[in-house]
Chains A and B, each alone.
Chain A
Amino acid sequence: MPVSSDVPQLALKGIRVLDFTWIHAGPSATRILADQGAQVIKVESNQALSVVGGPASNTARGLGQRHNWNAGKSSISLNMKTDAGKELARRLVSVSDVVAENFSGRVMPSWGMDFESIAKIRPDIIMLSMSGFGRTGPWKDRVSYGQTLQAWSGFTDLTGFPEFKPSGPASAYSDAVGGMTGAQAVLLALIQRAQTGRGQWIDVSQMEAMSSLLGPLVLELSSNNTDVQRTGNREHYGRGSPHGVYQCQGDDRWLAITVFADAEWEAFSCAVGSPEWAKDDRFSTVASRLKHADELDKLVGSWTADQIAEDAMHLLQQAGISAGVVQTGKDMAEDDPHLRERGIFQPVPDAGGVMRTIERAPYKLTLTPGEVTKGAPEFGADQDFVLREILGVSDEELAEMAIAGAFD
């Protein structure tokens, strides 16, 4: 039955996620679910406190990453090396819809928490297992960080300028991709469960998620005898020039400019004041501009050198040219009027009431916009709520479990 659309609704309200994930990819997957109203319970351990983004991250950036990827979640501490800890985890499975983890393949089975075992506790459970290489195959026990996967999947060698060593993506693109992929698969499983009543096991290999994003290159390599190399800021299959970044006035200020069709070139020439060089025959067609791209890049750079990057962007955009400032962290947080109006950053209170800036979900759903009301939880902050109110554990039992080391 359709319900009233007047109040914003939470699409995943009533969905409970038991979240064993850590570091980046896993927590960013479950943050996507938390944004939409899922109750995400982080199961943390004293063993992993110093990992970047972990509860005890001692750098400002680590703190920022912890809040960003764990906002809106609850936290309990369980020592899974004790029988009492494992027993509590199993009881939590019985009241959860999703179990998420991104350990190496040996860990969950060693706790008796492999998919078969937890499906006996809760038959329609959805289990998300995320790993570098997947849970089957000759490399299933290999370990990886984002950078390892970027290297192994080809992204590192392909990202950079031909005359320099490959730089690869600056940060862990593969972890962000893993997070998106994991959340997508859980949503698909929830949709499937709503129709069939069945749960399932999801095996995300971040290597495979990354390889999917090379898309057309896979087809090309399988059919054409080509030697594909990194191309800087030009497209692998060039469709236009200029296509690059050009230095502007100031310290390390750059403008990205892309011009494709001839009509765009004419608009561009006009916008930059119709200099003599823009009328040169060498630049009159897409093909000739591509052929003389190196010379054209120098000439465009000679124009941008005197420009303020933001002003040049507005000038070119008003002429119908795709151009954008190469924005820094500061540009985005403080100077970009568009991001400010769109509200991409959101302050949320941490446990002590200090406001912490997190990124908002990068999509606006009109009916179920989602919401984040708090930053990342303190380590073990929700022990009482989870154990007493969700599981109904008595004081006596709690005391026994504590003595048995379940929370150490």
Chain B
Amino acid sequence: MAPGDLNLLESGDSLRQPLTGIRVLDLSGELGVYCGKLLADVGADVIKVEPPGGDTMRRIGPFLDEADTWENSTHWRHYNTNKRSITLDITSDKGISLFRRLADTADVVVESFQPGYLDSFGLGYQHLKDDHNGLIFASLTPFGQTGPYRDYLGSDLVGFAMGGYMYVTGWPETPPNKLWGNQAFQTTSNRAYIAILIAIFHRLATGDGQYIDVSMQEAVATTTEHVNTAYNYTGESAVRCGFRHGGQFVATWQCKDGFVSITTNTQKAWDDLRGWMDRDGMAGDLMEEQYDDRFILRGDHGSHIEELVEAWTLTHTREEITEWGQANHHPWGPVSTASELLDNEQLWDRGFYQKFVDPHTALEVIYPGAPYKMSELGWRLVSQAPEVGQHNNEIYCGELGLSDDELQESINAGII
């Protein structure tokens, strides 16, 4: 058994996942690698096509056990679960011809090169679809395949900036801020995954494949909740306002042991909050009639109220405040720090976290689990990320019909 193939289950109809039988060629970089994982985790046979020597995403840290090797990148390991790996130089003549043979066996291609890059090798959708009407081909790029910025480059940070999410995130006194992690890339992958599933469903009915164009800027711009509607319906751009969400009283307060999120989304929540402050003798003048309306919190009295509320939250713990709120059906909760994420009893109880012994460090590594629970067999973590070219032999010889000599020749020539 190869090191990555842990926990392999026997195949058979009882283990049929939604995308069992769908083959995906994953040529994507950071923008689309999560899309490939999403497809692989629900049963698609996703083949990660790495350049000979290995994908540069393997160099993105932090590294498991802080051991900087080509197999220990937490980034690589997370985003390539359940995939198989082959190496191939798709810029060489032989590589192009091998990729075309692979594409004939595939249902979906996912790529995130600059627009036109694959076309320049004769590997674009236009070149592959003629012999393969059912092919679904998804291109993920920073700005899409058309329009004046189509050739512009886009990191995760730039995606957040151009998509309008960044301008509103942060405090009025700070620069605009991105969300933690590579959420612009992941949002693009999430959107592309939706489009691919739509295309697969359509193909089941008609046999027809199609081309899909996904832009990071648009993926982010349609994920902001209020930025576009605020401008389009009021004529004013939303601004950074820290924890004050959408003019409602959604706030993060400092307490004894960190921060707590309090939402006075109903009149009862506001009355309970000031009632509890009053119980502790800390409501100041907030019990007066002029503060009865919870929408007072949007107005000029905001800072006066904030001072009183925070003076009170500072005398309690996150847990105390959370429990009072939740017991009364208010959506309140603690601001968890990174070090607390693996202590979440609800996530463990539902079997969200998945443990695997890492073959390279022998550590027990925890992975995030299913984003959705389905009563039929849906999401499964079957194998950890592959080693560089781990499945070359299996796929080139076993499935594509290359002889051992042909494979060796291509390896020697640096094509595989």
Contact = CB atoms under 8 A, between A and B. Distances in A.
A177 B190 contact: yes
Interface residues of B, number: 159
A214 interface: yes
B181 A11 contact: no
A281 interface: no
A398 to B, nearest CB: 34
B115 interface: no
Contacts of A395: none
Interface in A181-211: 181-185, 187-192, 194-196, 198, 200-205, 207-209, 211
Contact of B221 (A182, A203, A212, A332): A332
Interface in A121-157: 132-134, 136-139, 142-157
Interface in B303-346: 326, 329-342, 344-346
A150 B86 CA distance: 37
Contact of A209 (B332, B364, B371): B371
B207 A1 contact: yes
A367 B371 contact: no
A365 B198 contact: yes
Interface in B129-177: 133, 142-150, 152-155, 157-171, 173-177
A329 B153 contact: no
B170 to A, nearest CB: 5
B105 interface: no
A98 interface: no
A176 interface: yes
B195 A192 contact: no
A157 B259 contact: yes
Contacts, number: 527
Secondary structure at the A interface, as helix, strand, loop or mixed, is mixed
Interface stretch (B89-97, B374-382, B396-404, B407-415): B374-382
A11 B202 contact: yes
B232 A357 contact: yes
A144 to B, nearest CB: 5
A129 to B, nearest CB: 10
Interface stretch (A83-91, A316-324, A385-393): A316-324
A259 to B, nearest CB: 9
Contacts of B347: 207-208, 211
B394 interface: no
B376 A192 contact: yes
B252 interface: yes
Contacts of A161: 170, 174-175, 177
A173 B331 CA distance: 16
A5 interface: yes
Interface stretch (B4-12, B45-53, B223-231, B270-278): B223-231
Nearest to B377: A192
A400 interface: no
A366 interface: yes
A155 B341 CA distance: 10
B124 interface: no
Contacts of B247: 59, 61
A249 interface: no
Nearest to A327: B164
B74 A338 contact: no
A107 interface: no
B376 A198 contact: yes
Contact of B157 (A143, A145, A177, A258): A258
A159 B169 contact: yes
Interface in B220-242: 221-234, 236-238, 240-242
A330 interface: yes
Contact of A156 (B166, B259, B332): B259
Contact of B181 (A215, A332, A359): A215
A189 to B, nearest CB: 7
Which residue, A63, A191, A211, has most C-beta atoms of chain B within 10 A? Answer: A191
A213 B37 CA distance: 12
Contacts of B163: 327
5 closest Cβ contacts across the A-B interface?
A329-B231, A64-B229, A64-B233, A222-B366, A171-B225
26 contacts: A136-B349, A142-B326, A148-B331, A155-B180, A161-B174, A165-B252, A170-B168, A170-B245, A171-B168, A184-B371, A185-B372, A192-B18, A194-B201, A207-B347, A208-B369, A213-B181, A213-B186, A215-B368, A216-B62, A219-B366, A220-B74, A317-B149, A327-B162, A328-B227, A329-B227, A332-B231
